[in-house]
Structure 1
């Protein structure tokens, strides 16, 4: 068993994040007689999974729906549908990022000199308004 500070260090997240995960029902701790939180060894991997799911854009509500199925290793029909939808969303996000990277590469390759974009204005200059005396 480890205390909250140990879990924080080992999982690479703040103590505040761990408390938030508990509030959301994503992480559970045993309490000592003095009220200190104690976590089992598998909590490190659970926190890392939670971090990955957040990083992939899942909400705490969706994560809370999925974790019992992860724990039981038996996804329900609903959770399987949710997992597939999230996987498909992530795949689209990856494709968008690849397209953006490819576009940036094309710009880099097409530039004549490293300073070519320093003096480039993306829009034509606006002509000065004529003033009448």
Structure 2
């Protein structure tokens, strides 16, 4: 199949496929007239790349998964390097969530203290906002 058909099937653009090729993630074969030619294995690689990006992996993070598929494995996460990417990315997400939890707790504390004090300088009634912050 040619680049346009692969792009349509995968739900991406020819430009993205050319970029994946420039990054070494996709290898196009060339027909006699110079057109890029792809097969089902290429479709599987692109699908894997897009699926992994949809769950938050960077394009660089997808390389071990692509290598795993190219090595003949049925799934891109059948190799140890792919598992390591999952573990690293999950640790990054958990660290980010912990940081956000700390920020949320700090903001909640500040808001609780602020709401406990009388507010009359600007005329706004902040007591009503307390109901929406306790969710």
**TM bin (shorter chain):** 0.5 to 0.7
TM-score scaled by structure 1? 0.59
1:81 to 56, 60, 84: 84
Bigger helix share: 2
The equivalent of 1:13 in structure 2 is 12
Runs of 4 or more, structure 1, over 4 Å off, are: 87-90
5+ long unaligned stretches in structure 1: 97-123, 129-133
The equivalent of 1:127 in structure 2 is 122
The equivalent of 2:127 in structure 1 is none
RMSD, aligned α-carbons: 3.0
Higher relative contact order (CA 8 A, sep 6+): 1
Determine helix, strand or coil for the equivalent of 1:42: helix
TM-score scaled by structure 2? 0.58
5+ long unaligned stretches in structure 2: 99-118, 124-135
From the superposition, tell whether residues 125 and 61 of structure 1 become closer, same or farther in structure 2 (CA, over 3 Å): farther
